[in-house]
Amino acid sequence: MNTVVVGAQWGDEGKGKIIDILSREVDYVVRYQGGNNAGHTVVKKNGQFVLHLIPSGIFHPKVRCVVGNGVVVDPKALLEEIEALRKKGVSIRGRLFISERAHLILPYHRIYDRLREEKKGFIRIGTTGRGIGPSYSDKALRSGIRVVDLFDGPLFREKLQKSLREKNEIFKKIYCVRGFSFQDICDEYLGYAKKIKPFAVDTALLLNEAMRAKKAVLFEGAQGTHLDVDHGTYPFVTSSYVIAGGACVGAGVPPTAIHRVIGVVKAYTTRVGEGPFPTEFNERLMDKIRQKGKEFGATTGRPRRCGWFDAVLVRYSCLVNGIDEIAVTKLDVLDDLEKIKICTGYRYRGKTYKNFPASLTVLKEGTPVYEEHPGWLKDTSQVKVFSALPLNAKRYLKRLSALSSAPISILSVGSHENQTVRLPIRR
């Protein structure tokens, strides 16, 4: 069975842990979009790991990991991540494959990213400044440079020269900053070529051949549905197709290859960066949940904004992804609350919205419609089976499932892999 795991909120839902657990049951794990702006945190017996580009399945020796054509790759970040894993005893050779068709992030992408964020008159998105958006922009403009280009020196030089002519003019005339040296970038990136070449293959061919051989493939999404460039809260989104359909585009596999979609949600809601957030907590509760839930970005360390579970948001995610099952994480973070709210709609100018609106005005100015549920005021972090949960916790989860129109198959009650409850699904 081939499965897509996708975030059903604004990212940071705890996908790394869920993917790590599901990786035990598959042969391949594939990252299909995003770049090193995403961070998946996995807690193992030998410590905590934060992965940015390499799929979370890398911790399982029999699993092969693939970085698909839909990912934008910073070679320096990739090689640093590979080395960090090697130092901790995680085997990479023969298990990691990078798409030749994946586009590269270059130094000018990172600078351009930051300059756009700082420029007055531009919309501030709250990006990580890793150059992800500008790399995707070059890809769409057909002026990007791909992994395969690194292995053809003359072609790489030609593409880099053409790109720098344009980029240096932009830096000089619009941002009044110094441009980049062609030779410096050329030497640096051609230096990466030899180190990356052993991993570079036609990953679409690799995956399709694996599926014909009845191998099980797990597709790993980064960020969350509402950061998808088409279906998210645009323009406060990422630059790639996060949703389950993006797995086909970003990995080079047909839609018929996908058999199951699992959506990951927190038992509450978080988002990083700018953009609307209807259910955001007040400052006091924000600080409490942020500290208990360790809500700080795995990539940047930025504090996350926190709020009540938004069922309108998640139900839309289930719709556009075709989510079959939900994995709920961080239930234990809510253990100390006497009352817990769930958003079931938004009220704006006399109208109640039950479906997630495209309008940013409705999301910013509308008032959430809440249900209030009693808390359970008991520690759930050591629970091993659903029946052992406090009654109010079980009721809360059943309500989340009903409002999302999808059954819960996995429950996480802590960061460690052992703090996980599997629930049977009736099909």
**Active site members:** 12, 40
Count the residues in the chain. 427
Kindly list the distances between the CA atom of residue 358 and the CA atoms of 3, 111, 122, 231, in Å, as whole numbers in the listed order.
Answer: 28, 31, 21, 8
User: Which spans in 23-151 are helix H?
Assistant: 75-87, 107-118, 132-140
What are 347's two structure tokens? Answer: 């009220």
Give the Cα-Cα-Cα angle 284, 289, 291 (nearest 5 degrees).
100
CA distance 318 to 407: 11
Is residue 66 within 8 Å of 23, Cβ to Cβ? no
CA distance 12 to 265: 9
What are 44's two structure tokens? Answer: 């193992």
CA distance 121 to 119: 6
What are 199's two structure tokens? Answer: 């991993």
Q: Taking the CA atoms of the chain, what radius of gyration do you get in angstroms? A: 22
CA distance 195 to 8: 36
Complete DSSP assignment for 395-420: HHHHHHHHHHTS-EEEEE-SSBTTSE
What are 239's two structure tokens? Answer: 């630059």
What phi-psi label fits residue 129: left (phi over 0), alpha (psi between -120 and 50 degrees) or beta? left
